[in-house]
């Protein structure tokens, strides 16, 4: 499949790369890492990356200005995006040929060609493998971007999605002369207001008897701590640091003050099935949903409690 993707890339003069809305390091790492690899290996081609800038990740790279005209006869590649509504920049259909490259469950198999590996820790891992297997030259900048994507999605090799292959591919990237320690530090530090918000979260976390935690971040709380919604990524993993917490939900109130972005995480129990029932999706242990009322928030919390209880019962039987 990697060879087919490479042969398709060979055929096109303009290649436009998309990724998902509200990008995280893996979305940007895979998108911009691929842009860098293709620019280096095909200097005569016009390689562009589109999507809204994410200020909190400005250290990764900048987006290109892509015109409607650029899409004429172009190859479009979408990285790290499971379903079409989440693709940043809906012009992705205006190209001549569409390729999906992703590591999320493939419920929406869009594109003329798709490469989906749910065993991969990150789409950046897939792009690294793609470059190595097709003998495309990696550059220092590509290594920086792809490594950022891999450590972003694996929590610096903490989550179960980290495999021996992840480490082997990351080792290839790590051989480049990049200050990886500084990068890891940058991704592991946060501004003082985020630290204070962490304090608020630990203080107000509601934890069920079987270790399901929830916290609601209202617009007022975000305002008090001067935190933008995008910055809540910095605190998503915090509840999981508590030993008794098995799974957790962070409900972020939206500007309309009655709907919520729900960020779901779990140590072992599968929770993306719950996300799918609430206008969302994602990975088994890290997913996102949308809720449209406090009642729906409660339903999500109760479903998580039930899922953890069922897992406990199964574990007892085995």
Distance of CA 116 to the CA centre of its chain: 14
18 is a contact residue toward ligand AMP (CB under 6 A):
no
Site for ligand AMP in 203-242 (CB under 6 A): 236
For residue 301, give both structure tokens.
């919390």
Least Å from the CB of residue 22 to ligand AMP: 6
For ligand AMP, the binding residue among 234, 286, 304, 305 (CB under 6 A) is 286
20 close to 32: Cβ distance less than 8 angstroms: no
Residue placing its CB nearer to ligand AMP in the complex, 38 or 282: 282
Least Å from the CB of residue 195 to ligand AMP: 20
Least Å from the CB of residue 247 to ligand AMP: 13
* Overall size of the chain counted in residues: 318
Going by their DSSP bridges, the two strands 75-79 and 286-291 should be labelled as unpaired
Query: Which residues, listed in sequence order, are joined to residue 137 by a DSSP beta bridge?
Result: none
Residue partners of 97: CB distance under 8 A and separation at least 6 = 8, 12, 75, 76, 112, 113
Least Å from the CB of residue 264 to ligand AMP: 7
Q: Applying CB under 6 A, which part among 69-77, 167-175, 203-211, 279-287 lies near ligand AMP?
A: 279-287
Per-residue b/e over 217-231, b at no fewer than 16 CB within 10 Å?
A: beeebbeebebeeeb
For ligand AMP, the binding residue among 288, 301, 304, 305 (CB under 6 A) is 288
For ligand AMP, the binding residue among 46, 198, 254, 290 (CB under 6 A) is 290
**How many positions of this chain bind ligand AMP (CB under 6 A)?**
16
Least Å from the CB of residue 283 to ligand AMP: 5
Residue partners of 45: CB distance under 8 A and separation at least 6 = 12, 13, 14, 15, 38, 39
Nearest residue to ligand AMP by CB is 288
């Amino acid at each position: 499949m990697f060879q087919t993707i490479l042969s398709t890339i060979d055929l096109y003069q303009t290649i436009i790369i998309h990724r998902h809305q509200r990008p995280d390091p893996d979305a940007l790492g895979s998108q911009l890492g691929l842009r860098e690899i293709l620019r280096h290996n095909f200097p005569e081609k016009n390689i562009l990356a589109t999507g809204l800038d994410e200020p909190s990740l400005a250290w990764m790279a900048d987006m290109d200005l892509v015109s409607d005209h650029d899409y004429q006869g172009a190859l479009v590649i979408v990285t790290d995006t499971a379903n079409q509504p989440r693709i940043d920049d809906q012009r992705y259909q205006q190209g001549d040929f569409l390729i999906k490259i992703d590591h999320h469950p493939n419920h929406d198999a869009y594109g003329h060609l798709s490469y989906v590996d749910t065993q991969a820790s990150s789409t950046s891992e897939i792009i690294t493998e793609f470059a190595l297997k097709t003998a495309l030259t990696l550059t220092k900048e590509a290594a920086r971007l792809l490594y950022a994507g891999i450590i972003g999605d694996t929590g610096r090799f903490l989550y179960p999605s980290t495999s021996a292959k992840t480490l082997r591919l990351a080792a290839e990237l790590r051989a480049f002369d990049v200050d990886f320690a500084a990068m890891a530090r940058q991704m592991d530090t946060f501004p003082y207001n985020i630290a204070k918000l962490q304090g608020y979260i630990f203080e107000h976390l509601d934890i069920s008897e079987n270790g399901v935690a929830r916290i609601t971040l209202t617009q007022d709380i975000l305002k008090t701590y001067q935190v933008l919604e995008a910055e809540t990524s910095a605190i998503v993993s915090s509840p999981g640091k508590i030993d008794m917490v098995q799974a957790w939900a962070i409900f972020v109130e939206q500007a309309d003050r009655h709907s919520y972005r729900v960020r779901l995480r779990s140590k072992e129990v599968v929770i993306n099935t719950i996300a799918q029932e609430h206008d969302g999706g994602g990975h088994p242990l890290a997913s996102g949903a949308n809720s449209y009322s406090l009642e729906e928030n409660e339903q999500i919390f109760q479903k998580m409690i039930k899922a953890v209880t069922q897992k406990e019962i199964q574990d007892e039987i085995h």
